[in-house]
Structure 1
Amino acid sequence: MCGILGCVSGRVDGALFDRALGELEHRGPFDRGQAEAGLLRLGMTRLPMSSRDDYPLPPRVDGWLASYNGEIYRGAVGGLPAEVGLLIDALREGGDFPDGMYAFALLEPSGARLHLGRDALGIKPLYYWHDPDRGEFAFASELPALLRLLGPRKLDRASVADVAATGAVLGYRTMFEGIRLLPPGTLLSLDMREPRRAPRLSPLRTAAAEREEALDEALASSVAQCSHTFRDVGLLLSGGIDSNLLNSYLPDGAAKFHVEVADSGDHPGQQRALHVCQVAGGDFWALARRAVRNFSAPTRMSSILMYQELAELVRRHGYYCVLLGEGADELFWGYPRHLAMAESGFELTPRQLAAQYFGDFSARAAWLAPELEAAALARVDEATGEMCADGLDEAVWRFDLHYSLEPLLRRADHLLMSQTIEARLPFLHGGVPARARGLGRARLEGLRQKAPLQELIRRRLPSYPIEKKRHFRLPFSQWPGVVDEMRGFLSNGLDALHGLGLARLSPDAVRSMAAGDAFTLTTLLLWRQAFAEHLQ
């Protein structure tokens, strides 16, 4: 696990680059280094997980200069150079990339092209920026490091509008003009001889599972692969099916970490080696400020506070690696929206499908200035049209990937890595994703969410009580005082919200605002405070 940083520019010296690399120290405090190749400066920090061996950073493998963040689970024997070598082989041969989680930068031995890539499901994040006028390019694992290189940037007001309307930024933009996230499963190639030319984006294909396995066997194999490290491995354990199923494959004494949210009713019951932290209404503001800063974006996901508290709990107990159940709900259709779609016979218009993910985005868009409202709704329609081009089932998968799973994985990465903790996700490796998608609508057999996982946990843990899914989020309905505080915070910041583009948001609307909407706009103002030094 590492942090990666790079730039193609004649204006960034070694001292500035090193300060920017220091912003990634929490991602790899055990070693760091930088190297130059023409106009490219490449850096890397390292948290060793697969091997204790030391390597020069960034590594050179077969003449390629590389910066690499992640883990490869099959075929990588020989530590960091071997893992980088597998990525190089896939790139050089135009073949499938290996199963794993990664973001990487690879410079060809000739220096002619620089390649960036992000794993197929977006487990590891990678941000990038390109200035075609200057022919400059930069990228990083996290926004603060990239902003340290680039200096203050303009606010992307379209992103503000997206957040206000949908709770998320659409199209892999960020809150800063010109800075983007590399989409999952994407390979970016920059011609170093003509850096003013726009980088080329192409699909990054991942190798299929080596053999067809039953779900039980595939998940057991994936848990074993994800647990392979010389470090102790823990588990983030909730009261739900996904993490309890993972727990059934682990040794009884494996450490487990749980966040107990006051008044939520979510508890995993008695467990050996269980460490518990608590989040109550009185913790809200301090946690929210830390979580928004580390997530680096406003969001509708109140679970960022719970992840922040979990990260700090895991770190207090000295762990650097935990397993997570993320991805099971998207792969096996575990959300209420999946059940609602099934009950409707999967007969939805594109806008109705978008509403399953974004809620009543049209009503929230009405808070925006008219031109921002129209543009935000057009972006939703454009994104939905693209998603629906190949039928509803494929549209559901694409929405799940881009507007549910990727933000959740980025949440886990940024919040856990803020405390130097690697997240590993057994549901997203081996033959598990392909097997889940191959089940089609049978995932909701008998109108049961995650029917295959329900059957599997009944076999493995017969006494496990299968209940209706409870969302992993703060219980605002039981925290009216916190909701009132958020509304007061927004009322005091109403001028700032108007200045950000929410020109038609009225005092009355704020006073009656739903808790989830109040949280989203609260994170917007907290983000603006946290990143003020980076805004022009």
Structure 2
Amino acid sequence: MCGIAGLVHADPRYPLDRDLLNRMTGSLAHRGPNAQGLQTWPGAALGHRRLSIIDLATGDQPIFSEDRRKAVILNGEIYNFQALRRQLKGRGHHFSTRSDTEAIVHAYEDFGSRCVERLEGMFAFALWDEDHRRLLLARDRVGKKPLYYWQDGERLLFASELKALLQDASLKRAVNLEALDAYLSLGAVQAPLTILQGVYQLPPAHFLVWQAGAIQVAEYWDVPITGPVSRTEEQAIEELGQVLDGAVRARLVSDVPIGAFLSGGVDSSAVVEAMTRLSGRPVVTTSIGFREQAFNELEHARAVAQAVSSDHHEVVVEARAAEILPRLVWHLDEPFADSSALPTYYVAKAARERVTVALSGDGGDEVFAGYQRRYGLNRSEARLRRRLPAWVRRGVLGPLGSVYPKADWLPRPLRARYFLQNLGTTFERAYFADLCLLRDDEKAGLLSPEVRGHLRGHEPFTAFSRHFERTRGLDDLSRLLYVDLKTWLANDMLVKVDRMSMANGLEIRSPLLDQHVIEFAATVPSELKYRGRISKYLLKRYLEDRVPHSAIYRPKQGFEIPLARWLRADLRDIAHDLLFAPRSLGRGFVRPERLRTLWRRHQQGIGNHASQLWAVMMLELWSRTFLDQGADHGPLTA
């Protein structure tokens, strides 16, 4: 894995700031500790930090075309590069390295910007075409690798991380309140927005062409939404095995040690079983656990490790591990409220002690329908909603839900208020509301009047509605899976995995997010994904003779920390400072009196407001790190 950065200007006579390029690239050193490469042209520059994985000797970047008029820098891996290499050699191209990156520049020579359609892997790359003074940026299909950009007049800057762009002092650190609104709803900023005004993320499955100061952004791939293909259950199981083996096999190519994360759940067990069988040797596996048994999965991971004879290692996370929160926030670049970033950091750190590459089970829930409570309850609500007359739903249940007692002590799906509100609205809005840390009425009570005034008319739901609109005609579960892949997975799960692994110089590969696995799963009927109360039905059936039964059919636990308890105990003082210090309250984002109410209720055990409090804490820690400090600072130390 690597870090990329660069800048271009419409006027080739424009004097490029090489020191700026050095600072931008240097700020990404954690992503690529092995080498740095810089290249400049009149009005253009590319910078690269390398974590060496393939072709250790000659794979430094940028990599050039034969005539050296085109150059590419890549963050990620191209898994089909060997097949592409053979094809391109047949078309007359000469390769000077064994690197997967070189296939991109030659593919561009033949196919132009549409070359990205031929790439399979996880990637964000930049290609400079000196002949046409054209920059091509592209991002992989599901967003495993990040790419930010900022256009400043005729100048464009891009980088793997936001902190690299902040090396330019002319980029104003002004908070994008619409992005903040989405963050407080969903716990993460939603692409293409970023937390800073004027800075954007290139969305997954898109490429950007810059030429003469003008930008064009286009989508090059989408999840197939043609509906299910008729096949028997046994045929589906066999085909799943074939595509999964192909995905894992492609990710075993490496010139450095390779291992896997193992939770003992369905997804990671499927990956480790395939790795063991295909490689013919024990896999180095790493698991994480907690002192609190309700959150601890180590015994399940041990059972799978024993079954596949892996070289297994464990790490236990305690509340004092939160002392590294400033470092995590620095690596995350934007406010991020998914507290599982903490254990993700530690499992990546532990794995890096033994391997440089680790395979993970990320994506199994979104591709094969693993969120039992989320998908089951929403589909049940949808069936009930269809049976109720519209006047009952909108005229009775919706208004009743707005005044019904909140019952904060109950898990959110069991609160009658939310249930009534969901029945009183549409399927799409009900699902969005269930994903929210703060529903619209709760957020309105927390945000300051000034912020609310600025956001009048803005709805974070709009980003979701666009994806829902594409899936009209599909069944309910297929629609939810599509939306989750485009939103939750891309903006939360993969952000967490990329930043926390890169913080430790570890490359993560996700076979269950392979293009062919996703496209296969999109053709599988929903009744083979979620049958009765069994989530991930097809994947579990495939695994029945391969891993222990307990790994397949135990209740889903989730990768969570005991946040509610920690905020009442070990993290109480840290949390109080982040929430109520004068500079925190002085930012004007939230209403202090409402925040104090949430804090008091949580501390007294009246309600569980851990997620909401954590979101405000992470917003403040981000503000201290990126708004209060200069661009050349690293993580907060105090």
Return the TM-score normalized by structure 1: 0.91
Give the structure 2 partner of residue 266 of structure 1: 297
Distance in 1 (CA, whole Å) between partners of 2:437 and 2:27 is 36
Give the structure 2 partner of residue 280 of structure 1: 318
Preserved contact between residue 65 and residue 105 of structure 2 (Cα < 8 Å): yes
Q: 1:455/1:377 Cα in 2 relative to 1: closer, same or farther (>3 Å)?
A: farther
Distance in 2 (CA, whole Å) between partners of 1:150 and 1:200 is 26
Distance in 2 (CA, whole Å) between partners of 1:161 and 1:95 is 33
1:128 aligns with 2:161: no
Give the structure 1 partner of residue 7 of structure 2: 7
SS in 1 for 2:167: helix
State the one-letter code of the partner of 1:421: L
1:506 Cα offset (Å): 4.1
State the one-letter code of the partner of 2:436: F
Distance in 2 (CA, whole Å) between partners of 1:523 and 1:27 is 23
Give the structure 2 partner of residue 98 of structure 1: 119
Higher alpha-carbon Rg: 2
Preserved contact between residue 256 and residue 274 of structure 1 (Cα < 8 Å): yes
Preserved contact between residue 166 and residue 631 of structure 2 (Cα < 8 Å): no
Distance in 1 (CA, whole Å) between partners of 2:365 and 2:260 is 17
Distance in 2 (CA, whole Å) between partners of 1:102 and 1:416 is 15
Give the structure 1 partner of residue 20 of structure 2: 16
Give the structure 2 partner of residue 427 of structure 1: 512
Distance in 2 (CA, whole Å) between partners of 1:462 and 1:190 is 52
Give the structure 2 partner of residue 365 of structure 1: 444
Give the structure 2 partner of residue 410 of structure 1: 495
State the one-letter code of the partner of 1:530: T
1:200 Cα offset (Å): 0.9
Q: 1:399/1:365 Cα in 2 relative to 1: closer, same or farther (>3 Å)?
A: farther
Q: After superposition, what is the alpha-carbon deviation per residue over 1:126-155, rounded to whole angstroms, capped at 9, x for unaligned?
A: 011012xx3111000112222113555223
Distance in 2 (CA, whole Å) between partners of 1:482 and 1:50 is 43
1:239 Cα offset (Å): 2.5
1:11 Cα offset (Å): 5.7
Q: 1:349/1:255 Cα in 2 relative to 1: closer, same or farther (>3 Å)?
A: same
SS in 1 for 2:460: helix
1:155 aligns with 2:155: no
Distance in 2 (CA, whole Å) between partners of 1:377 and 1:287 is 38
State the one-letter code of the partner of 2:534: R
Give the structure 2 partner of residue 31 of structure 1: 35
Q: 1:111/1:394 Cα in 2 relative to 1: closer, same or farther (>3 Å)?
A: farther
Preserved contact between residue 292 and residue 304 of structure 1 (Cα < 8 Å): no
After TM superposition, list the pairs within 5 Å mapping 1:492-503 onto structure 2.
492-493=580-581, 496-503=584-591
Q: 1:89/1:69 Cα in 2 relative to 1: closer, same or farther (>3 Å)?
A: farther
After TM superposition, list the pairs within 5 Å mapping 1:280-319 onto structure 2.
280-284=318-322, 286-317=323-354, 319=355
1:427 Cα offset (Å): 0.5
1:529 aligns with 2:624: yes
After TM superposition, list the pairs within 5 Å mapping 1:75-474 onto structure 2.
75-77=83-85, 78-79=98-99, 80-86=101-107, 89-92=110-113, 96-131=117-152, 134-150=153-169, 153-158=172-177, 159-191=179-211, 193=212, 195=213, 197=214, 199-205=215-221, 214-251=239-276, 253-263=282-292, 264-267=295-298, 268-270=301-303, 271=305, 272-284=310-322, 286-317=323-354, 319-335=355-371, 336-345=373-382, 348-362=426-440, 363-370=442-449, 372-373=451-452, 375=455, 378-390=458-470, 391=472, 395-406=479-490, 407-442=492-527, 443-465=529-551, 466-474=553-561
Distance in 1 (CA, whole Å) between partners of 2:460 and 2:110 is 38
State the one-letter code of the partner of 1:155: A
Preserved contact between residue 342 and residue 447 of structure 1 (Cα < 8 Å): no
State the one-letter code of the partner of 1:288: L
1:72 aligns with 2:72: no
Distance in 2 (CA, whole Å) between partners of 1:460 and 1:86 is 40
State the one-letter code of the partner of 2:314: V
1:371 Cα offset (Å): 5.5
Distance in 1 (CA, whole Å) between partners of 2:329 and 2:510 is 23
| Ranges in structure 1 where 5+ consecutive residues have no aligned partner | none
State the one-letter code of the partner of 1:368: L
Percentage identity across aligned positions? Answer: 25
Distance in 2 (CA, whole Å) between partners of 1:376 and 1:164 is 15
Q: After superposition, what is the alpha-carbon deviation per residue over 1:83-124, rounded to whole angstroms, capped at 9, x for unaligned?
A: 443455443556723211111111224233211110110011
Number of aligned residues: 525
1:469 Cα offset (Å): 1.0
Which range is displaced more, 122-131 or 63-72? 63-72
Distance in 1 (CA, whole Å) between partners of 2:143 and 2:378 is 25
Distance in 1 (CA, whole Å) between partners of 2:598 and 2:313 is 41
Return the TM-score normalized by structure 2: 0.77
Q: 1:291/1:376 Cα in 2 relative to 1: closer, same or farther (>3 Å)?
A: farther
- RMSD between aligned alpha carbons? 2.6
Preserved contact between residue 379 and residue 477 of structure 2 (Cα < 8 Å): no
Q: After superposition, what is the alpha-carbon deviation per residue over 1:245-264, rounded to whole angstroms, capped at 9, x for unaligned?
A: 11111235211111112211
| Ranges in structure 2 where 5+ consecutive residues have no aligned partner | 86-97, 225-235, 386-425, 603-608, 633-638
